[in-house]
Amino acid sequence: MYEKLTPPTTGDRVTFKNGEPIVPDNPIIPFIRGDGTGVDIWPASQKAIDAAVEAAYGGKRKISWFKIYAGDEACEEYGTYQYLPEDTNKAIAEYGIAIKGPLTTPIGGGIRSLNVALRQIHDLYACVRPCKYYPGTPSPHKHPEQLDVIVYRENTEDIYLGIEWRAGTEICEKLIDILNTQLIPQTPEHGKKQIRMDSGIGIKPISKTNSQRLVRRAIKHALRLPKAKQMVTLVHKGNIMKYTEGAFRDWGYELATTEFRNECVTERESWILSNKEKNPDLSIEENARQIDPGYDALTEEKRAVVCAEVQQVLDTIWETHGDRKWKEKIMVNDRIADSIFQQIQTRPDEYSILATMNLNGDYLSDAAAAIVGGLGMGPGANIGDQCAIFEATHGTAPKHAGLDRINPGSVILSGVMMLEYMGWQEAADLIKKGIGGAISNREVTYDLARLMEPPVEKPLKCSEFADAIIKHFDD
């Protein structure tokens, strides 16, 4: 059935029901070692995960690891340019849960990202990246403990669909010509705009289906969080990219206020309801003035729109959400992408789940990870309805490859996410305890060592960090 793979002889398959995994006590879990620092990180990660499972379940539960190939290692095994063999995708589809190290993507040409390809092939539409502070972790931020967000990034479309054409190619010039001579002139709002002939062209598709399934998952996640963290922020650059990023925001709100009407309140709705709660006799117009500070400068037509919004909110949800009932609901708001980058630094505790499109989420997850200790502390998961692949936020960090010095924390924490997804919470908790213990005892790799006050003079190796985590299971 496989060309070159041999699955473990012991262990059972994970299956899925209604989008959730059903995990046997001895699941077969495929893993991809990864390129670059993957050679250092994977053995350390596997050791920490296995030790936690053994310590938590004393042999009753055990992972049967199944080595599969992607990236440079796949080319060695399967031949030149076989970066993502059919075997690998078959194994992931068959066994349902996999974990991987980072894979290299060349810049400006060459193969397209294998990481992105895996997400698209297996329809892993939600990239989930928690950014949470471990006490004692050094950070460039004054109050890293105030940040506790989860980036929920759409994982299958946006410019990551990879439909683009190189400048100067025949098809690119043909496309520009059609746009300049036929399509742009037919769209009055584009006026006399023209695209330069020496441009490269990329396509940015943002669909209602994919936007809403991402936001749906984000809201369902928010429902499982403690009350104070039940908030979903739609991140977008919809002021500039109105029909892609702006549409993402609108589709997000539409979903929240239809499918989750009883569970959600939007930020603007909460202002309207709260204004009326403070003053039950408030007129519609005065309420509109209070939610839109620039109200009096608006045209009559725009003022009518705001008044209609106020009226509509009071007519439709006052009964269900008014009288402070909205305070028990999930707050759904939106922020423009550039502003959220400063907001997570200046007002970190005001955010919880950040629902984003693909590119914004890619940028934002690195930035948020930096606040809580850097890319060595940034785990992630790519989740679909039939499959999930766990991987760190960082890449292959090539300058550190093979030196046994890189921080394996992000892949180990991705393993924690995997264990939690499997329902193996006791093992996940042991690793979290071990990481906390190692960090607070200043037993850390170079990246955290250099930031600590005073700096740690002899940082641990990558492999030693795994041992330190295991040692602190018993703290």
Ligand X SMILES: NC(=O)C1=CN([C@@H]2O[C@H](COP(=O)(O)OP(=O)(O)OC[C@H]3O[C@@H](n4cnc5c(N)ncnc54)[C@H](OP(=O)(O)O)[C@@H]3O)[C@@H](O)[C@H]2O)C=CC1
Q: 134 an active-site residue?
A: no
Binding residues for ligand X restricted to 93-132, rule: CB under 6 A: 102-105, 115
Distance (Å, whole) CA 335 – CA 233: 7
**Which of 26, 64, 89, 113: binder of ligand AKG (CB under 6 A)?**
113
* Residue 116 near which of ligand AKG, ligand X, Mg ion, none (CB within 5-8 Å, type-dependent): ligand AKG
Reduced 3-state DSSP string for 46-86: HHHHHHHHHHHHCCCCCCEEEEECCCHHHHHHHCCCCCCCH
Binding residues for ligand X restricted to 398-427, rule: CB under 6 A: 398-399, 406-407, 410
**DSSP per-residue string spanning 139-159:** -SSS-GGG-EEEEEEE-S-GG
Among residues 69, 95, 125, 160, which one is catalytic? 160
Among residues 87, 158, 292, 362, which one is catalytic? 362
Give the x-and-dash track for 329-368 against ligand AKG (CB under 6 A): ---------------------------------x------
Residue 138 near ligand X by CB under 6 A:
no
Among residues 237, 276, 329, 432, which one is catalytic? 237
- Nearer of residues 108 and 188 to ligand X, judged by Cβ: 108
**Which of 21, 27, 379, 395: binder of ligand X (CB under 6 A)?**
395
* Residue 447 near which of ligand X, Mg ion, ligand AKG, none (CB within 5-8 Å, type-dependent): ligand X
The window from 268-276, 320-328, 353-361, 389-397 that contacts ligand X (CB under 6 A) reads: 389-397
Nearest approach, Cβ of residue 132 and ligand X (Å): 17
How many CB atoms within 10 Å of residue 279? 11
Pairing of strands 97-100, 28-32: parallel
**DSSP per-residue string spanning 250-301:** HHHHHHHTTTTTTTEEEHHHHHHHHHHHH-TT--HHHHHHHH-TTGGGS-HH
Q: 446 an active-site residue?
A: no
| 138 prior amide bond cis, ω within 30 | no
The window from 29-37, 136-144, 295-303, 356-364 that contacts Mg ion (CB under 5 A) reads: 356-364
Strand partners, 99: 31, 390
3-state class of 314 per DSSP?
Answer: helix
Given a contact cutoff of 8 angstroms between Cβ atoms, the answer to whether 102 and 72 are in contact is no
Residue 362 near Mg ion by CB under 5 A:
yes
Our CA angle for 8, 10, 13, nearest 5°, is 80
Residue 191 class from Cβ within 10 Å (0-12 exposed, 13-18 middle, 19+ buried)?
exposed
Among residues 198, 338, 474, 475, which one is catalytic? 338
Give the residues lining the site for ligand AKG (CB under 6 A): 105, 113, 115-116, 362, 393, 395
Residues serving a catalytic function are 160, 237, 338, 362
Give the residues lining the site for ligand X (CB under 6 A): 102-105, 115, 374-376, 391, 394-399, 406-407, 410, 447
